[in-house]
């Protein structure tokens, strides 16, 4: 996941700790959503929640590429 983030954001290797932390956050969110889904499947939209987190992290890691004013 960290490698995919680094590649998508075109980040240098010296940002490895930051992308590693972001990757851990993505995995933690997905794990938590899975538990919530197991407890109450109709109350969790795993795809939408995961998309929100990944989109937010991309915008934080590379605002010039993924921020609100970046080109689509």
- Please write the tens of the pLDDT for every residue from 30-56: 999 999 999 999 999 999 999 999 999
pLDDT number for residue 18: 92
Average pLDDT over every residue of 18-38: 95
Report the percentage of the chain scoring pLDDT > 70. 96
Quote the CA–CA distance of 32 and 64 in Å, as a whole number.
30
| Structural domain boundaries in the chain | 2-66
pTM (two decimals): 0.82
Residues 58-70, mean pLDDT to the nearest whole number: 88
């Amino acid at each position: 996941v960290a490698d995919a983030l680094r590649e998508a954001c075109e980040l240098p290797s010296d940002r490895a700790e930051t992308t590693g932390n972001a990757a851990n956050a993505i995995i933690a969110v997905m794990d938590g959503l899975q538990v919530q889904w197991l407890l109450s499947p109709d109350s969790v939209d795993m795809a939408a929640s995961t998309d929100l987190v990944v989109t937010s992290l991309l915008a934080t890691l590379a605002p010039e590429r993924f921020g609100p004013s970046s080109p689509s």
